[in-house]
Structure 1
Amino acid sequence: MPSGKTKLSLICVLLFAVIQTFGAPTDTQQSLVVSTTVPSSDKSEKENALEDVPSEPQIYQMHIQSNIGNRFANTTVTSKVKNLAQKAQEATFSVVLPETAFISGFIMEVDGKNYTAYVKEKEEAKREYEQAVSSGLGAAHVAVSARDSNRFTVSVNVEPETKAAFYLWYEELLQRQDGHYEQVINIHPGQPVKDLHVEVSIKESRKIKDLKVPPLRSGNEIGKDTPDLDPRADIETINDKTAIVRFIPNVERQKQFAHLLGTKENEGLAGQFIVQYDVERDAHGGEILIQDGYFVHFFAPSELAPLPKYVVFVLDTSSSMHGQKIVQLKEAMHKILEQLNENDAFSLVEFNTNVKVWDLNNADSSVWYPVENDGYLYGRDEDEKPFTNFNFPNAYIATTDNINKAKTTISKFSPSAATDIYTALKVGLHLVEIAENHKVDSIERQPLVVFLTDGDPTVRLTSREEITNKISEYNIGLRKSPIFALSFGFGADKDFLQKLALRNSGFSKHIYEAADAALQLQDFYKQISSPLLADVTFKYEPSVTSLTKTKFPIHFGGSELVVSGRCGVIDDFTPPVVDARSNKGRISLRPQAIERSISNIERLWAYLTIKQLLDKKEIADDDVKEIKKQALELALEYSFVTSLSSLVVVKPNATSAVDTEEAEGEGYPGGIGRAKKRVIKKKKMSSMKGDAISSASGIHYSSGYQHGGRIAFASTYAGAPTSFDFPDSFDPPGLQGPKGESGDSIVAAIPSVSSSPAHNNLLTILPWLKNILNENEMLSLPSGTYKLGLNETFSDVVSCPKTPLNSTGHCTLLHSCPQVHSLLTSADVFIQHFCVLKNEYAGVCCPDNS
C-alpha cells in the first residue's frame, strides 16, 4: 500500500469523557476537535497562497432528522466534513444524546464504502479487542461506566482534499412531564455549518395539541425563555395527527445564536432545540395501540382531583452544605412549601451527625435523635435508641401560618458536623408511621419522603448496601412510602441514591451545583407535587404475555404510565382493567379505544423492557444473572447499546492504538462544563503491513439515572483513490447486529461493505416487509416483483404525487428515506406510496426536503 496514494487514513477511536455536566463546549473539549501542526513563520509562496484555507476540516452538512411515532422517537444525525487543506487534519464527530436514549446504529462512509457498527455482548467485545491487539490489529475497548454522560465521540484523520461522512442513530421513548412531551435535540457542531437542517416529524394516533417550539436553551442552566433565542422554526401541520417542525438557520443566524448563548461565534451554534406537544387522550382508561402482535397502553387520566399528600422533607445540613449550597436549599424550599395544597401535610427533618425533627410552634421543643439536643455529638453507645423514648412532633397541615413558620425555621439552618443518612431516613419513615396511626384529621394522605444529601454516609451505619437493605426492609413494614432521593453537587453518591430510591418505589435526581440549583430543586418537586392515583395495577387477560411493568405505586399529574407487551390481533384483544386508589377511594378504569398503531410497537416494547430490566438488575437480590441475560439478549436482538452491550467495527491492517484517560466533570446536556483535561497516549504496535494509521478511544454514553453503555471500535484503512464525493442522496439505513442461535452475537469481522446489517434492520423497522419478501429477496407486489436495492444509491430525481405526509415528493429507495419509516405501518400503506426506480427497484415517495 503506497503511502503516496493514501487519501484518507482513519483513526476510529473511542474517546472517553465522563461528563456529568453538559454546557457549551469548552476550549479543551469541543464538538469538533482539530489537531494540526502549527506552521513555521517562514512561509513559502505556496503557503502564502493557501493562507485562506481553513485550518480545520469543514462541516459542509449537518442534518438531524427525528421521526416521532406515538411518542417513540428515532433520530438520525448526519455529518459530512471535508478537509480543504493540503495536509491531513483530525476532526471529531461528537453528539450529545438525550439521557434516556439508546444508540442503535453507527456508520462511517469511507471511499464510497460503508463501515457498519454492530452490537455484541460487552465481554465478548473485550475479548475481541485483546485478540486484535495480540495480532497487531488496531482495536479499542475500555472498561468504564458511562452512566453520567451521554456524549458519543469518534475521531477521524482526514487527508488533504477528501471527505468523511458519519451517521448515528438513537432511539428513545419521550417522557410526559408537566402535561407535555418534549423532544430535546442538542446541536453543537463546533463551527458554523452552511447546510444545517433539523427536522422533527410527529405522527400520532390521537390529535396533536399544544405543539410549540420554545426559545433555544443553552442546556447548562434553567432560565426564562429569551425572545431573541426564538428559533423561528417552521411548523407545518399536515393534518390534526401529523406535523413537521423544521429549523434551518443560516450561518449568520447560527453566529447570532452562539453570541446570545454565550459561546464564540466561530464555534457555531451550541444549544438545545426543543419541540413540545401533547395529544388528546381518553380521560379515564388511556389508549391502546396494536401492531403485529405487540401493543402499548398509554395511561394519563385527566379530570381527577389530586390525592392529599403527607410530605416528609429530610434535608442534609452537614458541613459540606456550607456556602452556596445551603443558600440554594433555603431558596428552593421556600418556593416548594408554597406549592403545598391546603389539604396536604408536612414535616421538616434536618440531619447531620444526628437528626432533628422540627417543632414549628416551639423550636426548643424540637427533637434530636438519637443523641438528644445535639446535632454534633456522636456516641456509639447511643445508637439505635427505641423510637418510643422520643416524643416526635406530629405532622403539620399546610396552612399559610404553618408554611410561614417552616420558612422561618429553614432560614435558620446552619451547616455543621457529619452525615448520618441511615438514621435520617429511618426517622423520616417513622414519621410516616406516626401519621398513619395518629392522623391529625380524618383525611387519608399519600406519604412521600423527599430526601436530599450532598455527601456520603460518614457516621454510624456507613455501608451503602446495608443502608439500602435496612431502609427497604423497614419501609415494607409500613405502607411503602416512596422515597425520592436528590443528590446535590459533586460529592454525592448518585449510584447509591439511585438504588435506594428504586428499591423504595421512587426515583432519584441529581441537582447540579450551579447558579440555578434552586430552580432545579423546584422543577423536581413539581414532578411529584400532584399525585392523582396510588397503588395503580394494570390487569390484562392471560393471553397477553411479555408484559412490561404493570404495578406503579403512584401516578402523578402531568406524567404518563406506559405498559407494553405481546398480544393477538386487534379484534381479539380484551381491554384491561386499571385498578387504583383515588381521592374518592378505590376505582377501576377501562380504556375505551383500541386502535392500530402508526409506529413500530415492537421496538418500543423492546426499549421499555430493556430499560426496566436494567433497573431491576440494579436492585435485585437474586436472579441477577438471569435478569442480565434477558436484557442482553434483547439488546443484541434489537441492536441497542446498553450497559451490557457494545458496538463494534473491525477493519484490517492497524498499526497503532490510543489509550484514553477518563474525564470527569458535571453539567447539563448540550455541552461540557468543568471537565478534567483529557489525556491521550499513543502506543506503537507491531505492524502487519503498510503504513495506514489507526487508533482506539472511548465514548461516554448514558441514560440519566438509567443505564449507560459503551462502544468499541477497531479500524484501519488500506488505501483510497485521489478524490471522491458522496452522493447527496446517501442516507444509510439503520443497523442490526448479527446473532447466533443462542442469542449471543457472532464474533466476526464485518466486511467493509455488508448488506446484511442494513437488510436485517430494515426488516426490524418495517416488520411487514418479510410478508412480501420472496425467497429471492425480491418484493412481491401487485404490479410485479422488485429489488430492495440496499447497496444502491440513485441521483436521478423522479417526481411522485403523494408521500406518506400527503405532499408531493421524489421517488427514492426505502432505506434512503428513513423519515417515513414510522408512517409505513403495513404493506397496504406502503403500496399507496410505492414507486418504481430504473424499472426494477422498489421505491417510496419521499418528501422533497429529504
Structure 2
Amino acid sequence: MVSVGQGVLLFSLLLSSLRGLAGQETSDLDIYSFLIKSEVSSRYAITVITSRVANRANESREVDFHVELPKNAFISKFTMTIDGKAYDGVVKKKEEAQQQYSRAVSRGQSAGLVSAVGRKLEEFRTSVMVAALSKVTFTLTYEELLKRTLGKYKLLIKARPKQPVKHFSIDVQIFEPQGILFVETQGSLTSNDLASAVNTTQSDREVHVHFSPSLQQQQQCFGCQEKGLSGELLVVYDVNRPKSQGDVQVVDGYFVHYFAPSDLTRIPKNVIFIIDHSSSMRGTKIQQTREAMMKILGDLHEDDYFSLIKFNGHVTTWMPALVPVNSHNLEVARKFVEGIKDRGMTNINEAVLKGVQMLSSFLESEAQEGSASIIILLTDGDPTIGVTNLDKIQANVKQAIRNRYSLYCLGFGFDVDYSFLERMALENGGLARRIYEDSDAALQLQGFYEEVASPLLLDVQMNYIGVANVTQTNFSQYYAGSEIVVAGQITDNDLETLTAEVRAKSRDNEVTYHEAFPESDRSLDHYIFKPYIQRLWAYLTVQQLLEREVLLSGEQKKAARERALALSLSYSFVTPLTSMVVTKPEGEDTQVAHKPEEGKRSQGGHVGHQAQLRKQSGLRGHSVQHLYKRLGQSAHAQVHGGQSAPMLKHHDAPSTGKVARIVGADVPILKLRRVLVSNTPPPVTVTRLMPKANLLKVLMPAQGQNTPLCFQIEAPQNFVDTLPKKLVLKVLSDPISGVSINAEMLKGEDFLRVAIHYKDECHIEANSTGIKVTQEGKERFISWTSYAATEHCNGITLALQKEVLEVAAGNMRVDILRHKKSQDSFLWPAIRHQAPIANATGIMGQAPVSYHLKETTPVAKLKILGKEVLGTRDSMVDYSTHTKPTVYCWLVPFSSVVLESLQSVIVSQL
C-alpha cells in the first residue's frame, strides 16, 4: 500500500567516507561534484541526483550512496558509472527480484535491501568498491506528483553531503501554465551565511531557484566546518486559478485535469473526536493529544457542531449529543480534555460505533442540510477488549456508517495496526494518517485537522467525453486548500477539445462546472517535457490502484494488482509490486531495492522507521549446546595486539555489552544474546592448546555507521564446564541513576528471570508467568495476562501492554518482553536511554564505539577503539521486538569492543 504524504520532494545525499585503516584520512574519498536538478511541470516533478566521487587513495575504497526521497515518489532510474562502464538498475517483478536476492543470500553475500521507511522519507542506499585513483558517478531519478495542502505545494530539498564539495548546486525549475501566484524560499540553506548562495528568479509562469555555495561558504557556515553543509532548501508556491472549473492540459493523447475552485462558501461540519486514552497512551502521547485538542477546539468554526468521546476499555461521552460551537461549550470541552488520563485497555469497536450512533441521532433530530459529517479517530494500539477481531470491527463500522459519513483514522506511533486503520478509513470515505512519536506530534494532529477543517464541496463527480482509462473521478469531499487531480487517455483521435463536467454539492445547492478545453498550447512544448502527462497518468493510476486494492478481494483484487504491476514495469517505477535489481561489478553483491510499505521493515533487516530503530535492543541467542556444534568452524584469523585467535562464524543471536547510537536515532540502542564469557584475550598458547566454546553472540549498532557490529564471546572449554547451571549476569549497574539490572538464564537455554533494582526503594522481578513488585517490604503481583496495567513504585513507573513491561526510572527506560518458544516462554530485557550513561558497568553499560571500514571482500578491515581488526559479513535475528527482524553486521573479535572481564559480569544473586 502506498501511503499518501505531504507532496513533498525531500531527499538527502549521504556518502559515507568513513573508510580506511589507521592513519588514513577520510579525505581520500572526494565528492567533487554534487548536483541535484528538479524539474516540476504542472506539479509533476522529475528529480535527478548526480554525485561524482573520486578515490584519491592508492588502494580500493568502498563508497556508499545514500539518498532520502519522499514516500510518494517512485524511483524510475539508477545508474553507477565506473571507469566508463555503466551499471544500471533494472526494475523487475518483486517475486523475480526476491529470487535473485535469495540466491545472493544463499551464497553468503549481503544482498541487503537498500530501502527503508522514514517519517516522510524512504531511503535508497547502495555501495560499491572503487579502485585506487578511480572515480564513480551515481545517478538516481525519481518522480512524484506534488500534492496541494493548505493552499501550497512544497518542494523540500535536504542536503547533507558530509564534506565540502567543489561543484555543489541545487537547481529547481518550476513551470506552471496557469501562472505562478506566489513563491517563497525557506529553510536553513536560505539564511545567514548561505543566503547569498540562493538565487530566485520568477516570471509569470516560471520559477528558477539556484543554490550554489562556494567551498568557503560550505566550510565557514555555522555548523558546517569539515563536515560540509547540512540543511534544507524549501520552495513553497501556488498557482493562479482564474477558472472555477479548473485547468485541463492535453498532450499526445493524454490529459490531466486540476480542479481546485476557491469561490465557494465553507460547508459547516458535524465532527466527533474519538480519543484513545488507554494505558499505552501514557506520557507524552496523552500530553500531546491534550495539547493538540486544545488548539483544535479553538479552531472550530462557529457554525460547526461537535462532540468528544474518550475510550479505553470503556467508552465515555463528553455530551450525550453534538452541541454547537460557542464560548460556553468550548470552555466545558477544554475542561473535559484537561481531565483525560491514561489507563485501561482499548475498545475501538464500541468507541467508533458510539460515534456513529451519536451522529445518526443528531442528524435525525436536527435539520442539517448542506453540512459535512466526519468522525476522527485517534488511537495508538490494537483492540484489546470487546470485539478484537479486526475484520469484524471493520465490517461493523462499515455497516453502521453506510456511506453517510467520513471516517478519518489517526494512528499514533508504531504499535498500532496501520493497515487496519487504513482499510477502515478508505472504506468509509476518509483516509488514515500516522502520527509520529516526536516533539511535534501535537502539531501533526493539529495540521491534519486543518486539512479537513473547511469542506467546500461534497459528493464530487468528474465526467469526461471521449476518454478512457481515467483515474479516480468520484470524491467524497473537496476541502479548501487542496486539489483534485484526474488524468486519462484520449480515445477519440479527432477530438479537438476535451469536455469536462463536474457535479457536486455545495453549502446551499448542487453545482455544475462544464467547459470544453482545447488541446494544450504547442508553444508550451519547450517548457513541458512531452511525456510528463503520460507519466503523471501512469503514476496516479498505480497509486490509486494500490490504494483501491486494499479494499478488494478475489478476482477484482487480482486484476487491480496485475494492472498496477504492468504499469510499474512499463514505466520502470519501483512500487510495492516491483523491485529494482542493482547490478554491481563482478565479484560484488547484487542488491535489491524495494518500495517499503508503511510501518513495515525491509526484508534485508534495514529498519523501516526511526521509532523502530529505537526498539532494537534486547537480550537473546543460541543455546550453548547449539553453539558447541559450531566449534571448529573458524573463518579467519583475528589480529589483535599481535595475537591471533580463531573467529567462529555463527548465524543468529545478537547482543551487546555496549551502549551505541544509530545514525538518525536519538536513543542509544543495546542488544544482548546469551551467556557472556571472558573478554580478556587468552594467551596465544591457550588459544592453540585448549578448545573454546562460544557462549554468546552480540549485536552492537555502531556510532556514526548504518551497519552494526557483532562479536562472538569465546572462553576456554574447561572454564565453561565449571560454570553453574543457572547463571546470573550483571546486565547494567548505573551509580548515577541508582538502577541495576541482573538477569538469570538456564545454562544453554533462555533468560528465565530479570530483576530491576532502584536504589533500595523498589525491586522488580519478572519471570515467564508474571511480575513481582516489592516496595518497602510489601509485595504485589502483575500477571502478563493483565495485558494493560500501570503501577508506581517509589519513583518508578511500570506499564504493561502487549506482553511488554515498560519500566521508567528517571531518564532511563527498561523494556522486558515476553516471547513464545514452542510451548514455553522466555524473557528479553531491552534497555533504552534518553542519554548515554557515563559511568555504567555491566553487559549493557559499555561506552559507545564507532568504526572505520576499509574493505569488504574477502574480509573487512576495521579500525575500532584505535586498533585495527578483521571482520566478516554476518547476519542474525533481533529479538528485541516481537517482529524479530534479521539484521546484517560486521563480525569482529570480542576483545575489540568489550572491555569488561568475565568475573565482573557474573554475579551471585538476582
Q: Does 1:86 align with 2:58?
A: yes
Question: Contact 2:13–2:68 at 8 Å: present in 1 too?
Answer: no
- The equivalent residue for 2:211 is 247
* Pairing partner for 2:443 from 506, 519, 522: 519
* Pairing partner for 1:663 from 607, 615, 619: 607
* Pairing partner for 1:635 from 557, 561, 568: 568
Question: Contact 2:381–2:416 at 8 Å: present in 1 too?
Answer: yes
- The equivalent residue for 1:379 is none
CA spacing shift, 1:652–1:137, aligned 2, 3 Å? farther
- The equivalent residue for 2:83 is 111
CA spacing shift, 1:465–1:113, aligned 2, 3 Å? same
- The equivalent residue for 2:508 is 584
- The equivalent residue for 2:615 is none
Q: Number of residue pairs matched?
A: 605
Unaligned regions of 5+ residues in structure 1, if any? 1-21, 41-50, 218-224, 360-392, 683-690, 699-850
CA spacing shift, 1:255–1:347, aligned 2, 3 Å? farther
TM-score normalised by the chain length of structure 2? 0.62
Q: How big is the shift at 1:487? A: 1.3
- The equivalent residue for 2:111 is 140
Question: Contact 2:116–2:124 at 8 Å: present in 1 too?
Answer: no
Instruction: Supply the RMSD in Å over aligned alpha carbons.
Output: 3.4
Deviations 1:325-380 (CA, angstroms, capped at 9, x unpaired): 21111111111111111111101110110111112xxxxxxxxxxxxxxxxxxxxx
Query: Aligned with 1:326: secondary structure?
Result: helix
- The equivalent residue for 2:155 is 183
CA spacing shift, 1:254–1:498, aligned 2, 3 Å? farther
Question: Contact 1:314–1:348 at 8 Å: present in 2 too?
Answer: yes
Question: Contact 1:258–1:269 at 8 Å: present in 2 too?
Answer: no
Question: Contact 1:204–1:242 at 8 Å: present in 2 too?
Answer: yes
CA spacing shift, 1:232–1:458, aligned 2, 3 Å? farther
Q: How big is the shift at 1:299? A: 0.2
Deviations 1:479-532 (CA, angstroms, capped at 9, x unpaired): 431111111123222222222222221112222212111111111111111110
Q: How big is the shift at 1:95? A: 0.6
- The equivalent residue for 2:22 is 39
CA distance in 2, matches of 1:231, 1:314: 49
Q: How big is the shift at 1:593? A: 4.3
- The equivalent residue for 1:194 is 166
Q: How big is the shift at 1:75? A: 0.1
Query: Aligned with 2:468: secondary structure?
Result: coil
- The equivalent residue for 2:587 is 654
CA distance in 1, matches of 2:104, 2:665: 35
Q: Does 1:468 align with 2:412?
A: no
Structure 2 residue identity aligned to 1:635 = S
Q: Percent identity?
A: 35
Q: Does 1:673 align with 2:617?
A: no
How does 1:242-281 map onto structure 2 within 5 Å? 242-254=206-218, 259=223, 265-281=225-241
CA distance in 2, matches of 1:395, 1:256: 58
Q: Does 1:606 align with 2:530?
A: no
CA spacing shift, 1:616–1:351, aligned 2, 3 Å? same
Deviations 1:50-83 (CA, angstroms, capped at 9, x unpaired): x7x5455121111000001111000000111112
Q: How big is the shift at 1:697? A: 12
Q: How big is the shift at 1:142? A: 5.1
CA spacing shift, 1:258–1:353, aligned 2, 3 Å? farther
CA distance in 1, matches of 2:298, 2:196: 34
CA spacing shift, 1:497–1:484, aligned 2, 3 Å? same
* Pairing partner for 2:431 from 504, 507, 516: 507
Question: Contact 2:187–2:231 at 8 Å: present in 1 too?
Answer: no
Structure 1 residue identity aligned to 2:605 = E
- The equivalent residue for 2:250 is 290
CA distance in 2, matches of 1:304, 1:231: 41
* Pairing partner for 1:312 from 272, 294, 317: 272
Q: Does 1:73 align with 2:45?
A: yes
Identify the range of structure 1 (187-196 vs 650-659) with the bigger mean alpha-carbon deviation.
Answer: 650-659
Identify the range of structure 1 (427-436 vs 600-609) with the bigger mean alpha-carbon deviation.
Answer: 427-436
Q: Does 1:458 align with 2:359?
A: no
Q: Does 1:418 align with 2:383?
A: no
Higher relative contact order (CA 8 A, sep 6+): 1
Query: Aligned with 1:590: secondary structure?
Result: strand
CA spacing shift, 1:558–1:570, aligned 2, 3 Å? farther
* Pairing partner for 1:334 from 269, 272, 294: 294
Question: Contact 1:236–1:244 at 8 Å: present in 2 too?
Answer: yes
Deviations 1:381-408 (CA, angstroms, capped at 9, x unpaired): xxxxxxxxxxxx1211111221121111
* Pairing partner for 1:536 from 447, 450, 460: 460
Structure 2 residue identity aligned to 1:666 = Q
Structure 2 residue identity aligned to 1:318 = S
Deviations 1:205-232 (CA, angstroms, capped at 9, x unpaired): 1111211112238xxxxxxx98788576
- The equivalent residue for 1:626 is 559
Q: How big is the shift at 1:281? A: 1.4
| Bigger fraction of residues in strand | 2
- The equivalent residue for 1:234 is 199
CA spacing shift, 1:61–1:508, aligned 2, 3 Å? same
Query: Aligned with 1:64: secondary structure?
Result: strand
CA distance in 2, matches of 1:570, 1:408: 65
* Pairing partner for 2:305 from 327, 345, 359: 345
CA distance in 1, matches of 2:590, 2:91: 21
Q: How big is the shift at 1:144? A: 9.1
Query: Aligned with 1:431: secondary structure?
Result: helix
Structure 1 residue identity aligned to 2:607 = A
Deviations 1:241-286 (CA, angstroms, capped at 9, x unpaired): 1221111123443456662xxxx64333333321111111144211
Unaligned regions of 5+ residues in structure 2, if any? 1-7, 522-527, 592-602, 613-662, 670-700, 711-856, 861-871, 876-910
Q: How big is the shift at 1:294? A: 0.5
